[in-house]
Amino acid sequence: MLILIESYFGDRLISGRKCSLKELYERFRNVTEMSHDEDFTALFCRVYNFEELPLCDDFEIDMIIDLDTHLVYKPVS
């Protein structure tokens, strides 16, 4: 599963075990509550065993986490 994390500070791409939109939103909320001053992406990857990948246009994104608006959604094709 490929997830794009969008943020004012720059977009990042992570990969890990597939989950539902609802599960991903719950994971997002859990990490947001834990992160405080820590890097969200690094903490998310550590807690849920995801790996950060180089950002590239060749990947088909499964889900998007927008850290600025706190939305988690599937991209429109």
How far is 38 from 46, CA to CA, in rounded Å? 12
pLDDT of 77 over the 80 cut? no
How far is 69 from 77, CA to CA, in rounded Å? 21
How far is 13 from 1, CA to CA, in rounded Å? 10
Whole-structure pTM value: 0.92
What is the per-residue pLDDT across 31-75, written as a single tens digit (0 to 9) for each? 999 988 789 999 999 999 999 999 887 889 999 999 999 999 999
How far is 70 from 12, CA to CA, in rounded Å? 15
Q: Which two tokens stand for residue 52?
A: 């950060």
Max CA separation in the chain (angstroms): 34
Give the pLDDT confidence score for residue 58 in this predicted structure.
Answer: 81
What is the per-residue pLDDT across 4-39, written as a single tens digit (0 to 9) for each? 999 998 999 999 999 999 999 999 999 999 988 789
